[in-house]
Structure 1
Amino acid sequence: MRALLVLGLLLAVLGTAGQARAVGYRYWSFWDRDSAGGTWVYATQGPSTARPADGDVQGFRFSVSEDSKHSAKPRGESGFAAICAKTPAREGAKRVALVLDFGTAEDAPSGSTPPDPSPRTVCARVDEDATTADALAAVAKPLRYDTNALLCAIAGYPRTGCGEAVSDDTGSGESPGASPPPRAASEPGNGDGSGNGDGDGDGGPSVGLLTGIAAVAVLGAAATWQARRRRG
């Protein structure tokens, strides 16, 4: 009976610790619009290394997500023709359609509100060799970066914070020590083009998990000692 009780306590602690480890990240993700299918594809380069062609559509979405596989895509169906209809072509320049999705109130940092409830679409006309970061700077200032060149804010949103970890259950609450958000898609200084950056943060057992196991072990030892004492 006591063995079953100890086993139940162990499973409960393991379950709680597993939930505590699950985190998401609040950040701007970077996307490419597939011209053939019209779908959003998670970018495999950072904005400062990606060099879009004339007629490309690219998007940014601010949200809380666990990794690139679960990241929220930019909303809206506007294509290049609609976004850049009022921006004529010019020799020696290219036009890049940008979709800026500031996300929902649920994804906003505490005390903040998305500046636009719907995605903002803008057409950037830039030099032919310009990067996505150049196009973004031309139409969506002020931009904010952290010391590691991670894109933190577009058009001044959000005013504070940058890729911080948040608890998975509430969507808020900083979780220090977690891995950074996907960097291949959101870091303008990343030039490896690897497209990785799931941000799982699998670095071995968490402190909470080890503490829970130790606590259950102590309870089990105490129960065993007490049972032997009664039999003796």
Structure 2
Amino acid sequence: MVLLVLVPALLLAVLGAAGQARAAGYRYWSFWDRDAAAGTWVYATQGPSTARPSDGDVQGFRFSVSEDAKDAAKPRGKAGFAAICAGTPAREGTKRVGLVLDFGTAADAPAGSTPPDPNPRTACARVGEDATTADALASVAGPLRYDTNALLCAIAGYPRTGCGEPVADDRRPSSPSPGTDGASAGRASGDGGSGNGGPSVGLLTGAAAVAVLGGAAIWQARRRRG
């Protein structure tokens, strides 16, 4: 009888721990396109190293803790191209790209760090006609920092360390790491979890083993009594 009570209790303990586990959000620079007609930010469908904006485009970067594109914080502010590039006249053979750089809030900053500017910065990059967003960014917001996978880790030297690292947050449900399709400026590898908020395979396997061993013990006990 003790075993009959003990086995379900062990199973509940294992599965309960699994249910309480939370996947992490990720601290990274996300990349956005400004929809001039709608006046809204749209999550970029390309990375900054492959996107080639046109003259008059506005693009933004936001540093924050996010799960993925669905919950990523957008750049703040409503500055349009006319305001950002008012002092940068057109020049033949070049294009102008308006950039909004939002360093995020203190809550999103890595431990021991503070956003270099509490408000978004704007800059007008004048670059060659074939330049990418990464080229435009480098011309006005250095130093930039990349990791070995060419992931953008820092803009204007912020943050000094780290790159798309997971951040434990009990308020966030499980999700895949951001930008795994290369669409965002920041991408982070997953933590090896199930990615759906449910119990991991390892925990379920362990629970199954407990059940099997408990069942065998009960069967042996009954056989001896018989």
TM-score normalised to structure 1 length:
0.78
Q: What's the RMSD between the two structures over aligned residues?
A: 3.6
- Is residue 215 of structure 2 the alignment partner of residue 217 of structure 1? no
Distance verdict in 2 for CA 1:7–1:38, change over 3 Å? farther
Give TM-score scaled by structure 2 length.
0.79
Q: Percent identity, aligned pairs only?
A: 79
**Structure (1 or 2) with the larger CA radius of gyration:** 2
Determine if contact 1:30/1:59 at 8 Å carries over to the other structure. yes
Contact 1:182–1:199 at 8 Å: present in 2 too?
A: no
Counterparts in 2 of 1:223 and 1:108: CA distance versus 1, 3 Å: farther
Aligned to 2:101: 100
Matches within 5 A, 1:34-183: 34-169=35-170, 180-183=177-180
Q: Following the alignment from structure 2 to structure 1, what is the Cα–Cα distance between the partners of residues 22 and 205?
A: 13
Q: Any unmatched runs of 5+ in structure 1?
A: 172-177, 189-195
Work out whether residues 32 and 61 of structure 2, in 8 Å CA contact, stay in contact via their aligned partners in 1: yes
| Cα displacement (A) at 1:161 | 0.6
More displaced 10-residue stretch of structure 1: 153-162 or 210-219: 210-219
Q: CA deviation at 1:206?
A: 2.9
Separation (CA, whole Å) in 1 of partners of 2:169 and 2:206: 20
Q: Name 1:206's counterpart in structure 2.
A: 200
2: CA distance, partners of 1:9 / 1:15: 10
The aligned residue for residue 16 of structure 1 is 17
* Pair 1:58–1:12, CA change in 2 (3 A): farther
Could you tell me whether the CA contact under 8 Å between 2:177 and 2:189 is conserved in 1? Answer: no
**Which structure 2 residue ranges, 5 or more long, are not aligned?**
none
Structure 1's 146 and 198: CA in aligned 2 closer, same or farther, altered over 3 A?
A: closer
